[in-house]
A = this chain, B = another copy of it.
Amino acid sequence: MNFASDNTSGAHPKVLQALSQVDAGPAMPYGHDPVTARAQDRLRAVFGHDRLAAYPLATGTAANALTLACLTPPWGAVYCHRDSHINTDECGAPEMFADGAKLIPLDSAHGKLTPQTVDAALAEHTPGFVHAVQPHVLALTQATEAGTVYTPDEVAALARVAHAHGLKVQMDGARFANALVTLGCSPAEVTWQAGVDVLAFGATKNGTLGAEAAVFFDPALAHGFAYRRKRAGHLFSKMRYLSAQLEAYLADDVWLLNAGHANALARRLGEGLAALPGCRLLHPVQANEVFCELPAGLADALSREGFTFYRWGAGDGGSDAVGVRLVASWNSEPGHVDALLNAAGRHASQAA
């Protein structure tokens, strides 16, 4: 019973079905095909923005690194949370694609940057001081690496700070659907209407085989993107197969239903674990991830019973407490959540 990551799940049947329905006959390659046009239209409709430029991609790393490279020169700086995926889990992809631009890691609670944190960091920079990299981008993650979610107001407040200093706002939306379901707002409200300039729209974790999109709300910011994508090896000749995934993902509310399923299970997991003695949530559960501190014995017992999850940083509740991360996927089974909570309850009561 696997709670290790949402990337351990496979693809949604409707996404696979869409692939099999793609006409295998001749079509213009490299995105000049009707499926890609439809997927782009769908994204414009979903975001209520008829001018956005959308480019299908296959991985989140590509979506993040290529969009960032469009927003910063090589001597630029990207301000981001210390724990953000782009800072810790892309093996330097943003730095490579932006020819050595620098990520400036910032600390704040629960994975969420605050306007104060960003403002203070930017205040340390002297504009034009040639010895330092120049601030160009504020990068947010939605949902965050801590499983929390920015409200539209929070995004707007951060974007105001960024824009006031001349920075662009990029959003890593690897778990965008999970955030959206929690917020209950429109995609527009928490992106371009709140000041997000570019979105790395994720879909892989939530039900596609491997399909994401770079979404530029201001098409002018996509200058050079087509060339960057090509030379990065991310221009797919048979792009219709990426686009078909996106189209199916966005149709029939597949993306929102998937995220809603995962979020609900995560919430149940979080509430159940938090109620046990010696356990407490390390972050609010606002998407599909649970960060929880457990007695080490309990974590070990769950592992032994075949539940898979990651240890995640150290708990601070004492020497015998450990932090764990549990992630629910679009196809996680409710019964597995029950089984984990039952097992945890059993072990907790034995220990008490």
Residue numbers of A with Cβ under 8 A of B are: 2, 4-5, 7-13, 16-17, 19-20, 22-30, 57-63, 65-66, 73-75, 88-93, 95-97, 99-103, 105, 130-134, 204-205, 209-210, 224, 226-228, 230-238, 240-242, 308, 329, 331
Contacts and interface: CB of A to CB of B under 8 A. Distances in A.
Nearest to A103: B102
A11 B210 contact: no
Contact of A233 (B66, B101, B103, B238): B66
Contacts of A101: 92, 95
Contacts of A238: 7, 10-11, 204, 209-210
B26 A8 contact: yes
29 contacts: A5-B29, A8-B26, A8-B28, A9-B25, A10-B238, A12-B24, A19-B19, A26-B308, A59-B236, A62-B234, A74-B92, A74-B227, A74-B231, A75-B91, A75-B227, A90-B231, A90-B233, A91-B133, A91-B230, A91-B231, A95-B95, A97-B233, A99-B100, A100-B100, A100-B231, A102-B103, A130-B226, A204-B238, A210-B238
A29 B7 contact: yes
Task: Identify which of A22, A61, A231, A331 gathers the most chain B CB atoms within 10 Å of its CB.
Answer: A231
A102 B92 contact: yes
Nearest to A88: B132
Nearest to A226: B130
B28 A9 contact: no
Give the number of copies in the complex: 4
A236 B131 CA distance: 12
B92 A237 contact: no
A232 B92 CA distance: 9
